[in-house]
Chains A and B, each alone.
Chain A
């Protein structure tokens, strides 16, 4: 009798845990859309093309943030993806090399590294010598954050390719370089693209690495060596202001950010359906 009761309570606990695990996510997604979409409706298309308005004045938009975010995401992808892919390939193709073994540990460490420290590091070696906050510095910080994700996904993807494909390639007399890029990566495309998309999605939402590297702008868009805004940065600063219209803009920016994130992340994630 007692056993059945305990079993029943157990089932209740399990279902409650599942609810507790899932509900916050839906609440957050719901809140962002619920609070953000009316803002987009109210401000209209200008929300995406206009600059930050003065406090408590109507209208305005988040264009400098969108521009900065896109610039830095693109730049960090250009820098980080080749770097991470080649590193991942090395680890996968020469797994017993001591460099590989150490590199795997290094990548694990970097995965968990507090991103604020990455920002501090880039500030010390890039921003101060350059004499200015810049989009480049921000992009470099994002590259460091993206690196371990793309590298480990690439490595896993390559390792998951069955050996006989590679052996077939060698049997045909192909050089290692050819084998990897023409055969292995093609076969591992799914896992590799997932890693790419997840890495890019992750950095699109990062805030801490940008605080001391990209600076921030409210009204202008700049060259690569000038300060840049970013959507997560804007949200971070705007929620700490007292003005009601800035809070509105923060929610609107949150919706935009969430949409961009889901647009990049979901395709990547759904590709992995096993």
Chain B
């Protein structure tokens, strides 16, 4: 072991240490609520905070539902758009102009999320509220549209905002994969006289794993977003299939409630267990996504 390695090892250990410590802190602090309620913390929709510890009861089902629902909306919107956008940049745009389209998405990827938030609360929410109104008045027999909500703070607004925020990640992955397809395949397809549509269909089939990975990674990102979502989700302990209903996500629940958590005996523990759940969801989705990507890169 040369001296250089010895010198570097502490730094790499710190990296491990941070993650392990984070998990430990969350796990240890979640124990009280698990002892008290067991898994009911995740399966019930209830939030009774009381200064008498015996009366406290917490259940974050509404937040879990909201997190999954808004991320799902985001991914469903992002998937077709990122595929179309990737095809556009790779096939339709001349080489010199490609960067001009890629740089804006990179900017979006790194942009402070609070800017999405301020845009969302002042501009997107009122805009979608108008659309929601129209859809409610015309087709409220469809459960998706069956909610009356004039505020604009809803699963839909949060989902659209999340879609805009995770688009750069999904599209960069798909774009690179699409670009990396050997030219021979393209040439072969065109030489058979196929239209652009048919060529694209074939090439996309070739990179299906990348598309799947992009979807999962986008979902994982959407799950963890806090600030922008908490400004437009409505903050209600609600479980409702309609797009226009307000709700909660795990991250916005933590952001809203942690400030007053220590007043109550079990609330900090409940919120740490919510964080644990958030971490678990993100971890599972991301690992599956990375595995799919890894497998496919080696194939």
Seen from chain A, the residues whose Cβ lies within 8 Å of a Cβ on chain B are 3-4, 6-7, 9-11, 13-18, 20-22, 24-28, 31-32, 35, 82-83, 86-87, 89-91, 93-94, 99-100, 102-103, 106-110, 112-118, 120-121, 123-125, 144, 147, 151, 175-177, 180, 198, 201-202, 204-208, 211-212, 232, 235-236, 239-240, 247, 250-251, 254, 257-258, 261-262, 265-266, 269-270, 273
Set of chain A residues within 8 Å of B4, measured between Cβ atoms: 93, 175-177, 180
Instruction: Say yes or no for B192: interface residue by CB 8 A criterion.
Output: no
Nearest CB of B to A92, in Å: 10
Report whether B92 and A113 are in contact in the complex, using a CB–CB cutoff of 8 Å: no
Instruction: Say yes or no for B51: interface residue by CB 8 A criterion.
Output: no
Nearest CB of B to A114, in Å: 3
Set of chain A residues within 8 Å of B83, measured between Cβ atoms: 17
Instruction: Say yes or no for B82: interface residue by CB 8 A criterion.
Output: yes
Q: What interface size band does chain B fall in?
A: 35 or more
Set of chain A residues within 8 Å of B271, measured between Cβ atoms: 120
Give the docked Cα–Cα distance between A266 and B111 (Å): 11
Q: Which of B104, B110, B254 is A201 in contact with, Cβ under 8 Å?
A: B110
3 shortest interchain CB distances as A-B pairs = A205-B112, A17-B84, A114-B224
Q: What are some 17 contacts across the A-B interface (CB < 8 A)?
A: A7-B196, A11-B197, A18-B89, A21-B81, A21-B84, A22-B101, A22-B105, A24-B164, A25-B164, A28-B119, A83-B14, A86-B8, A114-B282, A205-B110, A236-B114, A239-B121, A270-B103
Give the docked Cα–Cα distance between A97 and B44 (Å): 45
Report whether A28 and B14 are in contact in the complex, using a CB–CB cutoff of 8 Å: no
What residue of chain A has the Cβ atom nearest to residue B228's Cβ?
A: A207
What residue of chain A has the Cβ atom nearest to residue B18's Cβ?
A: A144
Report whether A261 and B110 are in contact in the complex, using a CB–CB cutoff of 8 Å: yes
Nearest CB of A to B86, in Å: 9
Report whether B15 and A107 are in contact in the complex, using a CB–CB cutoff of 8 Å: yes
Report whether A114 and B226 are in contact in the complex, using a CB–CB cutoff of 8 Å: yes
Set of chain B residues within 8 Å of A204, measured between Cβ atoms: 112
Report whether A121 and B278 are in contact in the complex, using a CB–CB cutoff of 8 Å: no
User: Which of B19-27, B58-66, B181-189 touches A?
Assistant: B19-27
Give the docked Cα–Cα distance between A123 and B112 (Å): 22
* Interface SS majority for chain A: helix
Report whether A251 and B118 are in contact in the complex, using a CB–CB cutoff of 8 Å: yes
Instruction: Say yes or no for B16: interface residue by CB 8 A criterion.
Output: yes
Set of chain B residues within 8 Å of A269, measured between Cβ atoms: 103, 106-107
Given the known inter-chain contacts A31-B119, A109-B286, A112-B220, please indicate yes or no for A265 contacting B107, CB distance below 8 A: yes
Q: Mark B229-259, 1 if CB is under 8 A from A, else 0.
A: 0010000000000000000000100110011
Report whether A28 and B115 are in contact in the complex, using a CB–CB cutoff of 8 Å: yes
What residue of chain A has the Cβ atom nearest to residue B89's Cβ?
A: A18
Give the docked Cα–Cα distance between A87 and B11 (Å): 6
Number of A-B contacts (CB under 8 A): 244
Report whether A116 and B255 are in contact in the complex, using a CB–CB cutoff of 8 Å: yes
Report whether B115 and A254 are in contact in the complex, using a CB–CB cutoff of 8 Å: yes
Report whether A124 and B29 are in contact in the complex, using a CB–CB cutoff of 8 Å: yes
Report whether B16 and A103 are in contact in the complex, using a CB–CB cutoff of 8 Å: yes
Instruction: Say yes or no for B279: interface residue by CB 8 A criterion.
Output: yes
Report whether B224 and A120 are in contact in the complex, using a CB–CB cutoff of 8 Å: no
Report whether A25 and B118 are in contact in the complex, using a CB–CB cutoff of 8 Å: no
Report whether A212 and B15 are in contact in the complex, using a CB–CB cutoff of 8 Å: no
Given A11-B197, A32-B115: 5 more A-B contacts, CB < 8 Å: A7-B197, A17-B81, A27-B119, A110-B15, A120-B254
Give the docked Cα–Cα distance between A125 and B26 (Å): 11
Instruction: Say yes or no for B272: interface residue by CB 8 A criterion.
Output: yes
Set of chain B residues within 8 Å of A250, measured between Cβ atoms: 118
Report whether B251 and A116 are in contact in the complex, using a CB–CB cutoff of 8 Å: yes
Report whether B16 and A26 are in contact in the complex, using a CB–CB cutoff of 8 Å: no
Given the known inter-chain contacts A116-B254, A240-B231, please indicate yes or no for A21 contacting B118, CB distance below 8 A: no
Residue of B3, B112, B119, B217 with highest tally of chain A CB at under 10 A = B112
Nearest CB of A to B20, in Å: 9
Given the known inter-chain contacts A117-B275, A144-B18, please indicate yes or no for A235 contacting B197, CB distance below 8 A: no
What residue of chain A has the Cβ atom nearest to residue B105's Cβ?
A: A21
Nearest CB of B to A273, in Å: 6
What residue of chain B has the Cβ atom nearest to residue A232's Cβ?
A: B114
Q: Which of A26, A28, A112 is B116 in contact with, Cβ under 8 Å?
A: A28
Give the docked Cα–Cα distance between A108 and B87 (Å): 27
Give the docked Cα–Cα distance between A120 and B21 (Å): 12
Within 8 A of A (CB), among B113-152: 113-119, 121-123
